[in-house]
């Protein structure tokens, strides 16, 4: 099958093939770039801009986790959310000696109750590498776009609550940082969060997998809420306009 024909087919199916050089160059920039998420977080925590947070998609508290170091170092009041039981058990162990942390074994969605999460079967994770542990999603297509074979994917039934229910449970009026890594569902979660009457200084989320129409709505909402924002790697960093960032 020719490259041109493949592109036509993928376009008809709603996918876009990225130039391999773009992907490789982007990863190289990310690897050696001076400005990283870690730099931003260090500034926010060190200057006491962030003293409370919610993290959606906490995984095990170690793998692919930029926040864990700061949560422990600064004893930040934190609510960490992870839906997958296997990861959640490790998360409990990771933060077993931290009393300032609340852990929730749920997914965040407007549809409360039980939801299906697609995940790589344990027997096949070695084939795809460690990153396969962190791409579980409500969307089957999300895993397929990461080159996971359909027969290597399992369905997990997880409990789901809305972000409003989480906010209500902990009687929150404000939170300093809302941090989301929900593998394609980030846009819906952040939009739902912004609809609640809760003050927030900073929001960081992975934006590259968000549907374009949802993303446009989200950008407009962030501007309405007086956020300035910029891209670092695959994340959008959103800060209230009053916050001065000097890095």
Give the Å distances, CA to CA, from 132 to 65, 88, 105, 150.
Answer: 14, 16, 20, 13
Share of the chain above pLDDT 90, in %: 58
pLDDT at 14: 44
Predicted confidence (pLDDT) at residue 13 exceeds the cutoff of 60: no
Is 15 contained in some domain?
no
Is 169 contained in some domain?
yes
Is 135 contained in some domain?
no
Is 144 contained in some domain?
no
Task: State mean pLDDT over 182-208.
Answer: 93
Is 115 contained in some domain?
no
Cα four-point dihedral sign 211, 186, 70, 229: positive
The pLDDT tens digits of the residues spanning 207-235 come to: 988 999 999 999 999 999 999 999 998 89
Task: State mean pLDDT over 55-64.
Answer: 89
Identify each DSSP E strand in 121-234 by its residue range.
Answer: 153-161, 174-180, 199-206, 227-232
Could you give the maximum distance between any two Cα atoms of the chain, in Å?
A: 58
pLDDT at 9: 39
What size, in residues, is the chain?
A: 247
Domain that holds residue 191: 20-109+162-240
- For residue 6, name the pLDDT band (cuts at 50, 70, 90): very low
The pLDDT tens digits of the residues spanning 18-48 come to: 456 765 777 787 778 888 899 999 999 999 9
pTM for this prediction: 0.85
Task: State mean pLDDT over 86-90.
Answer: 92
Predicted confidence (pLDDT) at residue 61 exceeds the cutoff of 80: yes
Both tokens assigned to 239: 């800060």
Is 95 contained in some domain?
yes
Is 173 contained in some domain?
yes
CA dist 197 and 168 (Å) reads 11
Is 156 contained in some domain?
no
- Residue 86 sits in a domain of what CATH number? 3.40.50.150
Q: List, in sequence order, the alpha helices (H) in 13-157.
A: 20-32, 37-46, 68-73, 85-94, 125-128, 140-144
- What is the total count of domains within the chain? 1
């Amino acid at each position: 099958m020719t490259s041109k024909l493949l592109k036509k087919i993928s376009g008809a199916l709603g996918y876009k093939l990225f130039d391999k050089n773009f992907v490789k160059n982007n990863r190289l920039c990310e690897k050696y770039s001076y400005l990283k998420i870690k730099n931003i977080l260090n500034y926010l925590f060190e200057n006491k801009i962030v003293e409370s947070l919610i993290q959606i998609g906490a995984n095990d508290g170690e793998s692919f986790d930029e926040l864990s170091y700061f949560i422990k170092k600064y004893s930040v009041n934190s609510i960490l959310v992870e839906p997958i039981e296997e990861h959640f058990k490790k998360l409990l162990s990771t933060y077993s000696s931290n009393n300032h942390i609340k852990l929730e074994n749920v997914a965040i969605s407007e549809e409360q109750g039980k939801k299906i999460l697609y995940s790589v079967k344990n027997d096949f994770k070695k084939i795809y590498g460690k990153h396969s542990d962190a791409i579980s999603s409500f969307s089957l297509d999300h895993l397929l776009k990461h080159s996971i074979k359909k027969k290597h994917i399992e369905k997990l039934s997880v409990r789901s609550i809305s972000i409003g229910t989480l906010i209500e449970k902990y009687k929150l009026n404000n939170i300093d940082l809302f941090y989301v890594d929900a593998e394609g569902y980030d846009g819906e979660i952040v939009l739902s969060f912004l609809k609640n009457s809760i003050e927030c200084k900073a929001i960081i989320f992975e934006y590259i997998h968000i549907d374009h129409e949802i993303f446009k709505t989200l950008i407009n909402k962030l501007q309405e809420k007086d956020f300035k924002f910029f891209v670092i790697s695959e994340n959008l960093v959103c800060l209230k306009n009053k916050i001065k960032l000097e890095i």
